[in-house]
Amino acid sequence: MIHAANDVRDLCRRALAGGLLEEADLVTLLSARGDAAEVLFAAAREVRARRFGAVVFLYGFVYFSTYCRNECAFCFYRVDNDESPRYRKSLDEVVSICRDLAGSGVVLLDLTMGEDPVIHDDPGYAGLLELVAAVCDGGGLPVMVSPGVVPDEVLAGLRACGADWYALYQETHSPELYERLRTGQSFAARIAARRAARRAGLLVEDGILTGIGDTEADRARSIAAMREAAWEQVRVMTFVPQVGTPLADVRPAADEAELLAIAAMRLAMPRSLIPASLDVDGIRGLERRLNAGANVVTSIVPPIVGLAGVSQAELDIDEGRRTVAEVLPHLARLGLRSGTVTEYRAWLAAAHEGVEVPA
Ligand code: SAM
Ligand code: MD0
Ligand code: SF4
Q: What is the pLDDT of residues 19-41, one digit of tens each?
A: 999 999 999 999 999 999 999 99
What average pLDDT does the structure give for the chain? Answer: 96
Spell out the residues 6+ positions from residue 215 whose beta carbon is closer than 8 angstroms to its own: none
Whole-number Å distance between alpha carbons of 33 and 39: 10
What pLDDT was estimated at residue 172?
Answer: 99
User: Is the pLDDT at 124 greater than 60, yes or no?
Assistant: yes
Are 136 and 162 spatial neighbours (Cβ–Cβ below 8 Å)? Answer: yes
Q: Is 59 close to ligand 1, i.e. is its CB under 6 Å away? A: no
Q: Is 47 close to ligand 1, i.e. is its CB under 6 Å away? A: no
Q: Is 114 close to ligand 3, i.e. is its CB under 6 Å away? A: yes
Q: What is the mean pLDDT of residues 183-193?
A: 98
- Ligand 2 atom closest to the Cα of residue 310 is 2
Q: What percent of the chain has pLDDT over 70?
A: 98
| 261-296 pLDDT tens trace | 999 999 999 999 999 999 999 999 999 999 999 999
Residue 64 three-state SS: strand
User: Is the pLDDT at 1 greater than 60, yes or no?
Assistant: no
Spell out the residues 6+ positions from residue 158 whose beta carbon is closer than 8 angstroms to its own: 128, 129, 132, 145, 150, 166, 200, 202
- Ligand 3 atom closest to the Cα of residue 113 is 8
**Strand pairing of 233-238 and 143-146?**
unpaired
Mutate to test the pocket of ligand 2, among 298, 301, 311, 316 (most ligand atoms within 8 A of CB): 298
Q: Which domains does the chain have, with CATH numbers?
A: 55-353 (3.20.20.70)
Q: Is 209 close to ligand 1, i.e. is its CB under 6 Å away? A: yes
| 150-171 pLDDT tens trace | 999 999 999 999 999 999 999 9
CA of 190 to the centre of ligand 3 (A): 13
Q: Which residues pair with 338 in a beta bridge?
A: 56
CA of 245 to the centre of ligand 1 (A): 14
Q: What is the mean pLDDT of residues 313-331?
A: 96
